[in-house]
Amino acid sequence: MDLERFIQQRPYLYHLTNAQNAESILAEKKLYSANQIIYMSGDHSDNVNRQRRVGHQEIKVGEKSYFLRDQRPISQKALEKCLTDGWKMPDFLYYLNDRVFMWPTLDRLRRHYNRYALENPVIFRFPTRETIEANPHVKFCRLNSGATRANSYLGGKPPERGKNSFLSAENFLLPLREVAEVTFENECNFDFAIARGLTPDGVFVEVIPKGF
């Protein structure tokens, strides 16, 4: 994939988060993966990062709380039909939890937002160029990796997923319109202005990170 062309055609990336996370994100100028938050909490006793979250989950790091979204769109039965590389469900959940996720289009954002609209989440809009330049470990995915919808073209199975679901621009050989998710392993840092909104089609207001 031509990364420069992607940046020009997808000038913004969108991240949706629980409202309680918003101020911490701006204060730290960083988005953490679920695994990173769990690691910082120091509590690995119940392998929480290898279990499907059926509801939102609060993780305490010192006196601070981080709220992780549910993984209800993942069906264990469906996932087991489409995993590659000999993986089992806990392997793939850990793989997902290793990443920060962003949507490259408003259409993709709307689909995700609609599941959580009643919770009044916060949407952060990131400039694509600055975000990728600050985080060259960016990877791209051709599908909504956290949803296991059946596909009639695949005989009722969801699309395959495994260790090669997230690819660098160099290895992503499909047209850029096929990029469904933009992801960052462990964390995504930003030291530049972003924008904040409440709905995909509402007003986005520029936010200057603290200490900028």
- Does 85 or 148 have the greater pLDDT score? 85
Q: How many percent of the chain have pLDDT more than 90?
A: 73
Contact present, 103 and 61 (Cβ < 8 Å)? no
65-114 per-position pLDDT tens digit: 999 988 888 888 888 888 999 999 999 999 999 999 999 999 999 999 99
Higher-confidence residue of 150 and 132: namely 132
Q: How wide is the angle at C-alpha 86 spanned by C-alphas 81 and 91, nearest 5°?
A: 85
> Above 60 in pLDDT, residue 199?
yes
pLDDT of residue 190 exceeding 60: yes
Q: What is the pTM of this model?
A: 0.93
Residue 210 has pLDDT above 80, yes or no: no
Local confidence band at 152 (pLDDT 50, 70, 90 cut-offs): very low
Backbone phi and psi for residue 99, each to the nearest 5 degrees, phi listed first: -130, 150
- Rounded to the nearest integer, the mean pLDDT of the chain is 91
- The torsion defined by the Cα of 54, 70, 164 and 188, in degrees rounded to 10, comes to -150
- Torsion, Cα of 43, 47, 50, 55 (10° steps): -70
- 10-26 pLDDT tens trace: 999 999 999 999 999 99
Domain boundaries, the chain: 3-207
Which residues fall within 8 angstroms of residue 153, CB to CB, at 6 or more apart?
none
Nearest to 71 by CA among 97, 53, 56: 53
Q: What is the largest CA-CA distance in the chain?
A: 53
Q: What's the length of the chain?
A: 212
